[in-house]
Structure formats: structure tokens, C-alpha cells
Amino acid sequence: MLKHGILGLLNYGDMTGYEIREAFESSLKFFWPAQTSQIYRELIVLEKNKWIEKHTVEQSGKPNKNICSITEEGREELLRWLRDPDVNIDMRSPTLMKIFFMGELPISSSLDFFKQLNDEYRIGSKALQQTDASITSYQEMIPDKKSAVFWQMTADFGKRYTQMYLEWIEHCIHLLENMEE
């Protein structure tokens, strides 16, 4: 999946590895987090598959830039993946796995866990509120403006999902606090 995310970004225009990472940080990380090292490893694989090409721009006084471009084969792979009818609704969640077995802990430990989870989701919710500005900024850089509608749909899902998760966390805290009495 990471490879397709990178191909999707490069389909909008040429980017350096750093620019790809920045684009992930302001958009895709909300539903597909990737470490910098993962992105750079994937770029090597994409180049071996001939789905991207790299060209070097020499700079004086700075390290040279490696600019990545999607190839025709890469665009075909991206379109193949987009047309793939397989809708994966994978619900894997290490957090939910942990919560399922949390009955082994004292209620106070579980409450601490949920309060920390609440704090982390509130931070994530604030970050998601900034996606509208990112969408506007990136929309100005691409020729096909309709892509931003799909970006907005994805951001909207993230906001709604986060809100649902926060409501669920508050409900869980309430249940645990009532058990503690």
C-alpha cells in the first residue's frame, strides 16, 4: 500500500524524497502512517520496478537533490490498483486487541490507559483540523482540481472517525469510573 501512496503523490508531480515525506505528514499519515526510512526503502523498490525514475539536480554548497518522477509503467500500476475491486475493510487494531484483554488489569490501570488514549486522540483531532489548509495548498499545485474533492472526503472520514473514537473513549471511561465505585 505504501508504494501506491507514493505513486499517487508522484502522479501529481515530481518530488524529492523529502517532499514525499512532507506530503505524507500533511495528508496520508492520518490513515497510512509511514516512517521516513520506509518511504526511502520503497522508493528504491519503485525504481527497481521501473515505476519511478530518479534524476539528480546538482546544487552548489548543498547536497544534490534526487527528483522522483512517475513513469508510464508506474501510472499504469497506480490506475490498476485504483480500479482493483477488492475493498479491504481490515479492522486490525492493536489498541482494541489490548482493550479486549484489559480485564486482567486493575480498573485504575485501565482508566489511566483510556485517559492517555483520550489525550492522544484529541491531539490527532487538532491535527486533522489543519487538513483543510493543506488540501487548499496542494490543490493549487495540481492541474486536475477534482482530486481535492477526494482528499476532502478522506479528511472528512478522518474527522468523523476521530470524533466517534473520542465519544467511545469517553463512554469507556464513564463505564470504568462506575465500576470503580
Total domains in the chain come to: 2
Cα–Cα distance, 116 to 112 (Å, whole number): 6
Q: DSSP letter string over 49-99?
A: TTSEEEEEE--SSSPPEEEEEE-HHHHHHHHHHHH----------HHHHHH
Cα–Cα distance, 77 to 7 (Å, whole number): 8
Confidence of residue 181 (pLDDT cuts 50, 70, 90): low
Same domain, 68 and 128: no
Same domain, 47 and 122: no
Q: How much is the average pLDDT of 142-158?
A: 84
Assess if residue 133 is contained within a domain: yes
- The Cα-based distances of 13 to 7, 32, 87, 101, 141 in angstroms read 10, 20, 27, 46, 8
Residue after which a domain boundary falls, among 22, 54, 83: 83
The domain containing residue 166 runs over which residues? 94-180
Burial category of 43 from C-beta neighbours within 10 Å (exposed 0-12, middle 13-18, buried 19 and up): buried
What pLDDT score was predicted for residue 100?
A: 87
- The Cα-based distances of 145 to 71, 84, 93, 118, 139 in angstroms read 22, 23, 34, 36, 6
Same domain, 70 and 102: no
Query: For the domain that residue 28 is a member of, what is the CATH number?
Result: 1.10.10.10
Assess if residue 89 is contained within a domain: no
Same domain, 79 and 141: no
Same domain, 166 and 115: yes
CA 180 to chain centre: 37
The grid coordinates of residue 62 equal 548543498
Q: pLDDT per residue over 41-58, tens digit each?
A: 999 999 999 999 999 999
The one-character DSSP state at 15 is E
The grid coordinates of residue 107 equal 480498573
Assess if residue 88 is contained within a domain: no
- The mean predicted confidence, pLDDT, of the chain is 90
Residue 83 pLDDT exceeds 70: yes
